[in-house]
Each structure stands twice: as C-alpha cells, then as structure tokens.
Amino acid sequence: MSSNEELNREYWREDVERLRNDSVHSSMDLADQALDLIEDFIERRLYRNRTELLQSLSKLSNALVRAKPLMALIYSRSHKVIEFIENIPKEERNIENIVKMTLQRIREMREEIKEKQQKITRFGARLILDHHLVFTHSASRVVESILLEARRLKKRFRLICTESRPKLEGAAFARRMAEAGIKTRLIPDADIVRALQDAHFVLTGTDRITENTFVNKTGTAAIAMVANELDKPFYIAADLDKILLKRTYPVRFHSQDPEEIISNPPENLTVSNVYFEEVPLEMLHKIICEDGIFERSEFIERFL
C-alpha cells in the first residue's frame, strides 16, 4: 500500500480529533458519533479485501478508543463490528458481500441500542414517585430520557441539578428539564451538601463500569460520599455495554485546558482540570440497566 493510499484511508483523523475535544456531549452521543464514523468508513470502500478492511478498521477503532478511553460504549461498539467481520465464514471472499453484511449488522446494532435505551428508560422511570426530589450531576442522556418519561407519565416530582463546571453542561441540562415542564433547581457544584439534605435519591449516568468502580464526571465521588453519609440512595443508569474491565483496557485520567479554570495562571500556580473520576461501586445502591433494576451486590455477582 502506498503512503498516499494510507493517508486517503485515514481521512477520519480530523473527525476523531473533534470527538476527542468534545467534552460537552454525553457518552451515548459520542458513541453514536463513533459508530457513524465506522459506518462511513465501511461505506467508502477504501480497501480491496477483508484483510485490508480489518486492518484499516482496527486502526480507526484504536484511534476512537484512545480519543475517549473512559467511554466504554465506543470500545464495545467498535469491537463488535470488528468481531462480526472476523466471524463471517472464511469461504466468503467477495468484499461487496462482506460490506453489505457488515452494514446490515450496524443497522441492527442501532435498533438494539434503541431498544436497550427504551428499556432502561422504562425501568428508571419506575423509581421516580410523586413528590420525589431527584438529584443529578452533569448531563446524562439516559437520565434525561428517564426524567422525561416520568414526566410523560404525569409523575409530580422535582429535580436538583448541579451546574457541572467547567463546561456547565449541568446548567444546560437544567434548562432543558425546566423547559420540558419539570420543576428544577440549579445549584453551584459547591452547594451539594445543603441540596442533598432535601433530595430523596441521586440518579446519574456513567461512562464506564469496571470491576470495582464506575466512571463519571468529577464531583460524583463527593456527591456519593455525602449521599451515603446522609443515607440517601445513589442510583446509576447504564447500558451493560458500558462494562469495560480494567484488565481489558486501563483507566487513565488527564488534566484539561487550565484556561477553563483560571485565565493566564502565574508561574507558580498549577491548575488541575480533570473532567472524570472513579467512584467505588460500594457507594451505589442500585444499578438500572436494560435487564432491570439491580441491587449493587446482585449486579456485581451477575455481571462483573
């Protein structure tokens, strides 16, 4: 393969970089974007046979995972596509047939994803009762769908949202919920202790579940500790494809742009701006997934 051919096959580099720099959209949104990139690459047919397809697709998959190493959905979906191609019978040598089958599998995956999200939404809405005050952090798409479903069912509940600095996605989330007719209170991140005293339970999403932790927006661990101290249940909602064990792919955190915290920091000032953190699973009470609502111990025994 010539260097020009290789460069042509890696047209997606700028798209992956945009995904890497996106720190506002939820992990589900970014995983959808990653699957779109994979589908687009397959449709362009920049390869001559199955071997070249797998080599090029593996390179794209690795780039996507490195761009968002904490987002397990990107890892699981990209590897499912690769494994599907690898498992097509070796007798099938026609690349057009392989492409058609793979694109059909991606369409089926999208339907499966939609069905999973609908199940999680229905299960999650069951936990919300009239007069409940729900506390959430950051901006989870699955939590948003659960809250909107509870609203559709005419449940009379209220919501507390953190602003979720530095990108303030929690403030944008609070605005959407209020516009949807849900009575919402927006608080500074530093005011979690006072706000949690009023809440009935905490509900967040997660980007990844490991052997003994879950990964979510920085601030989640503090919320979990306060909630446990106040005997407030803590629930997370997650697709089971968000399980990605550390022995499969390590958990790494990186500090982001210091200018988001303070402009022009002086020479002796170090700025830490880490978007995500690990929270021990022992701080959870229930996990909502497409298979139902599980107590922490039952979830660990069944899935981990």
Same domain for 190 and 148: yes
pLDDT value of position 161 = 98
Same domain for 192 and 150: yes
pLDDT value of position 147 = 98
Q: Three-state SS for 300?
A: helix
φ, ψ of residue 22 to 5 degrees: the values are -85, 110
| CATH code, 276 | 3.40.50.10470
pLDDT value of position 4 = 55
Domain stops at, among 55, 88, 117: 117
For residues 244 and 213, what is the distance between their CA atoms, to the nearest angstrom?
A: 10
Q: Write the burial class of residue 109 (CB in 10 Å: 0-12 exposed, 13-18 middle, 19+ buried).
A: middle
Same domain for 113 and 31: yes
DSSP string, 133-174: EEEE-S--HHHHHHHHHHHHTT---EEEEE--TTTTHHHHHH
Same domain for 78 and 52: yes
For residues 196 and 202, what is the distance between their CA atoms, to the nearest angstrom?
A: 8
Domain stops at, among 90, 117, 144: 117
- Token representation of residue 184: 């919402």
Give the closest residue to 58 by CA, choosing from 81, 35, 34.
81
For residues 120 and 261, what is the distance between their CA atoms, to the nearest angstrom?
A: 35
Domain with 69 in it = 3-117
pLDDT value of position 24 = 84
Same domain for 184 and 103: no
pLDDT value of position 9 = 81
Q: Read off the amino acid at residue 106.
A: I
pLDDT value of position 228 = 97
Q: Three-state SS for 236?
A: strand
Instruction: Please count the other Cβ atoms lying within 10 Å of the Cβ belonging to residue 264.
Output: 7
Give the CB-side neighbour count of residue 64, counting CA atoms within 13 A.
Answer: 29
* Contact (Cβ atoms closer than 8 angstroms) between residue 189 and residue 226: no
Same domain for 130 and 104: no
Give the CB-side neighbour count of residue 160, counting CA atoms within 13 A.
Answer: 21
| CATH code, 19 | 1.20.120
pLDDT value of position 244 = 97
Domain stops at, among 117, 144, 165: 117
pLDDT value of position 261 = 96
Report the number of distinct structural domains present in the chain. Answer: 2
For residues 199 and 158, what is the distance between their CA atoms, to the nearest angstrom?
A: 9
**CA distances from residue 259 to 21, 72, 152, 254 in whole angstroms, order as listed:** 15, 28, 41, 15
pLDDT value of position 94 = 97
Same domain for 263 and 128: yes
Same domain for 140 and 107: no
What is the DSSP pairing of strand 201-204 with strand 234-237? Answer: parallel
What is the DSSP pairing of strand 213-217 with strand 208-209? Answer: antiparallel
- Token representation of residue 108: 């089926």
pLDDT value of position 23 = 86
Same domain for 158 and 240: yes
Same domain for 141 and 61: no
Same domain for 241 and 271: yes
Same domain for 131 and 146: yes
pLDDT value of position 125 = 98
Ranges of residues in the chain whose predicted pLDDT is under 70:
1-7
For residues 108 and 104, what is the distance between their CA atoms, to the nearest angstrom?
A: 6
